Structure 1
Amino acid sequence: MNYRSFQRSDSSTITTKNDASIAGGALQITRDTRNPSFNLPNQSGRAMFSKPFRLWKDDTLASFSTSFLVNISPVRNFTPGEGLAFVIAPDLQIPTGSHRQWLGLTNSTTDGSSSNRFIAVELDTFKQDFDPNDKHIGLNINIVKSNITYNLSDIGVEFAPWTYYTIWVDYNGNAMMLDVYIAQEGKPKPKIPVLRRSINLKEILAQDSYFGFSGSTGASTHQLNSVFSWNLMVEILPSDENGLKFVLLIVISIVAMVIIGLMVVYYLYGKKAEDDLIILGTLKRLPGTPREFRFKDLKKATNNFDMRNKLGEGGFGAVYKGILPKEKIEVVLGVFRRYDKRVLTNESMEVAVKKFTRGNIKGKDDFLSELTIINRLRHRNLVRLEGWCHTNETLLLVYEYLPNDSLDQHLFGRAVRPVILTWSDRYNIISGVASALHYLHAEWDKVVVHRDVKASNIMLDSDYNARLGDFGLARALENSATSYAEQGVAGTRGYIAPECFHSGKASRRSDVYGFGAVVLEVVCGKPALENYNLLVDWVWTLYREGHILQAVDERLATDHYVAEDAERLLMMGLACSHPWPYERPEMETIVQIISRTVGPPLVPPIKPSYVWPMRGPVNDDDSSECSADESLSIIVSSLEN
């Protein structure tokens, strides 16, 4: 069982109780909003996998291994609490009165009873009389007072809105040993567990038990308890079926295999031909259809997709450098001759070949989505499409090759030959990306929302001009729509606008947020998100203290950049990163700011707090508003912090 994220459709396999829900791509164990009207105090909830697992049979104990990604986010102006727990329980129910210190596990009546039959691994954030401290991980058996604990402060664990942690819980049925590990998201599993305990599951748990999560808040302790991904593997114990049932199972299996075999034959031949016709039909209907390349030519150009030619890899596929001989590029040059110079080597042209690697149906959807959008786009600051290839279930897009890698490679020193970008180059790059986004948002015949504006998707040509690329997540909106909704949150952390986690919608304003993160990265020379700290928070603090120019990349000496322009871009980056989407400038205004035809935007000295629902339109087509009391809570929260 593997949930990389959680969608509403997962309610068919995940049972939620009390205040738990599935929202924002996560399991929200307690309510998922910071708006006071949603009654954050005294909550409790459970989110459990809907089917039980058999954990013991006679004297044999099942082994299991699970890992999950959590975010425990304190609410401003409130004491964090109470906690979140991974739990194995006898049923899907949650005890009444299980808020406050009971963590959704027990209540004042049942706590400590052997009839509870649960084991839990708690992340406790509030010190009760029976707790060792206010930030610990503990193992609980039928009681909320942990049998063993570990002080998380000893390993630097900090619960914050942008801090995520992976927890591993492993149980060896043969050794009857349970181990618990914790690490920041993206870091490997530690070698030494923070908790270790010998446990005989048979003595504690019901034979058929449920896995999941529970949590709670208190009367004056508020926090958000979210699980963003979950992987679970449970050993299947030997069956006690008799020989007759075993023979029947074999016969049924053989018949099923024959039927499946026939279905596979149809799928491989009939369905494949049908899918191919759909894709080819779509391609033929595209206005100004780009050139179709032969697979063997692209295979040869990339040296059979040699890893040494690999330029990068993302969620949609890998990109390889290829060299096409002269006779293979005459048509391409003829189509795009009016654009700037090509990369030629000994009468050949270098190209970038994107090979889609996602699952069959989804990969084709991504392929067609990217092709149908970028095919008709014409702008000097967009990566240019040269052609496509579809054969033998392989989907390929061919783009112009840009020799100076992506922007992040130079900003953060990851390139093979990194270059310290000059101030002139940086200003020009920001200007180019802004021009490209303005074209997508306002100048093309449809509104195109890119949905993944970030430094690694900005390529640099031979003169370090910016080209915005990777349209795998982009969507063209119909004339009457200004936002796009999809299950799950698309994009990259640090560049995703906060409202997207709640509304599930991408809009021009969320693209502006991503652009703001890029602007700050270019000026500061630091990543938008590093060690779970947001760059925008650091820059906003310097601005509040009157030292905003201290944010400029220290590799640029003071005489190598224009202070007035640096302040202009930093203020614009903060304005684009405003937590309230309707306060962000539109791309037309941004282009004017960069061209110096209008002054820098006004930015509040203290970063406003983000709340949900928003006061004013969340997306370009959303005019919902908060009440006056909610507006006041936003202002008060901002002033006090």
Structure 2
Amino acid sequence: MQLSCQFIFWVVLFSLFPSLYSLPLPLPLPLLPTNNISLYGNALFRNNGISLTQETTCLPSSSLADIGRAFYVFPIRFLDLKTGAASSFSSHFSFSIIPNPLCPFGDGIVFLITSNADSFSFSNGYMGLPNPNPQGQDSFLAVEFDTSFNPSLGDINGNHIALDVNSVVSLASIDVLSKGFDLKSGRRIRVWIEYRDSAKLIQIWVSYSQTKPPSPILVAQIDLSKDFQEYMHVGFSASNGPGSAMHMVDQWRFKTFTAYQPSMNPMDAIEQGYCFMCSPDSDPDPEDLFNSIPEDQTHNHKTSHKSKLKLKLKLGTMGVALVCLIISVAIVTAILAVVCYFMIMRKKRRVGRRRKRSQTGLLQMNNVPTRLSLAEIKSATLGFHRNRIVGEGASAVVYKGSLPSGEAVAVKRFDQSNQKEFVRNPFTTEFATMVGCLKHKHLVQLQGWCCEGSELVLVYEYLPNGSLDRLLHRNSESAIFLSWSLRLNIVLGVASALAYLHEECARQIIHRDVKTCNIMLDDEFNAKLGDFGLAEVYEHNCASREATIPAGTIGYLAPEYVYCGVPTVKTDVYSFGVVVLELATGKRPVAEDGTVLVDWVWDLWVQNKLIEAADPRLSGRYNVLEMERLLIVGLSCVHPNHEKRPMVKEAARMIRGEAPLPLLPPMRPTVMIRSNVFADSQDIFNFDGDRTPTADDSGWFSPRSHFSRA
């Protein structure tokens, strides 16, 4: 990764040897904070920070809002016009909103990146954001910390964080009270904002402490290369509207980065100190206070800002000037020595922490899961406290745990109370399967286990974004929305995992329970398949497979598996096809009104209206050809005839456009299946619409998804 533009500045009002301000120094001094920041409106420097608005008497609604803004004096380069790529960036700052107890709250404060620093609105609730521009020449990105409730602007309440792009109507928002934060408390709140252009993802963290939380409070998918101009201004804006409050900002740090080079190992980039995700320190680095401005930021701006670097001369003799010069050089040399010392010590501490994590981490170098004691498990989960529960299933409860090293893990505790002797133990099956051969980047990795007394526990890596089911079908509980590019990436990740299980493992593994609940997402929304409690392991090319009692989830089960009870790779393909249709349509396998997803998509195909199956929440923000391709591949995977279904690896090639799409029949196909489970049954089932069953149909079925019985 190459660093194209990096500037770090802190809004900390300090006086370093005041007498230096009047010395005639021939060497250029770095810009002090008061010269780094341009103030607009009612903003002023106060109490080691910037007060964007002032505490005033309550204004009538017709009065102009109390508005203040603060911007870094130089515009920052955010867009490479040759490649069209936007720079990634990170920002860390703290702010507080101090209320006036005699007045209602003001509008709030925003972190703002805008192409026009002079454009702002006096409208209530706008927080000084730019006026709408009908010509579309100006653009802006704003992170709101909104303390007013204006339904006409789409606000969810009067205490929320939101993301705006070229409009005061928010793209995404989150109620911070529900997350344990109160913007109106007057407390100092620390914020981390990070945008990664390679993933087109912006993430926001909030904390009362100096420690960055493990999970962001707001995540949104956005492509800023389509909205940003080459140079943008960075800063803050706030307004009071009819209310009154002081909006204070301090300790501001900002960096921009170019995109990653594909040839560079991301871990190497972390060690070099150029990692986009590196958390800023809670206090300013000594070297940050004296960083010079990069050349590409000062291009064409040097002349207009020369006056800011000039120092007044108060000493008139050359002899005194020479003495002052020597003193200044000595002071600068001492400062550089201190900076180098702190840099060396910080690097040593970082190396020491990495070494300690490698020694105390749960995963050993050979990736063999570690056996843990029950005491260690209880310590990690606070005695299996209910507040630590992150998931519950039929046979196990999953807790979020924390190891002494600080590593977060998922602790799966199996329930032994309802186990029958004739039922296979899910713990034994899952443990044997995972330890056997499963090491793949799209499989949830087993890190430890415990078998002590009556407790059976498996410890997995913790995936902060939870299950695909939660984000796809319970989006009202989360500020995260899965964009089209993320959905395609998730489909291909699941396909890669299944292809590994079916064709690349030493032994063939049939998962038997592929569904959105068992697909987990890491911090970058990469899919990882988990829960192998129902898995079957076979030798490759095994011809004889016994029929079992069908197990799995209704809506994901292949028809031949339900009737015959024999799991194959093609039964996993069917379940995968249902997941594909879920991601494309946003619908559950079986809706609350009983509508079966597979039936519904087949009906649209027959009516030549397949594209109408696309998830309406995407609002058309997808490639139509990619959507049609995904729906057709999904239907081919849920074909009633298992022989017509592709292998998962072939399905992935179709989704990527590397292989031709299958030819689907114009009408929904029906297939006759001989049942092993019900071979001795005298009942006659009709699964073929109006066709009357004959004597030869006994024990044969033409399945439909809802499995209705005549």
TM range, normalised to the smaller chain?
0.3 to 0.5
| Larger of the two Rg values belongs to structure | 2
Q: What's the TM-score, normalizing by structure 2?
A: 0.42
Q: What's the TM-score, normalizing by structure 1?
A: 0.47
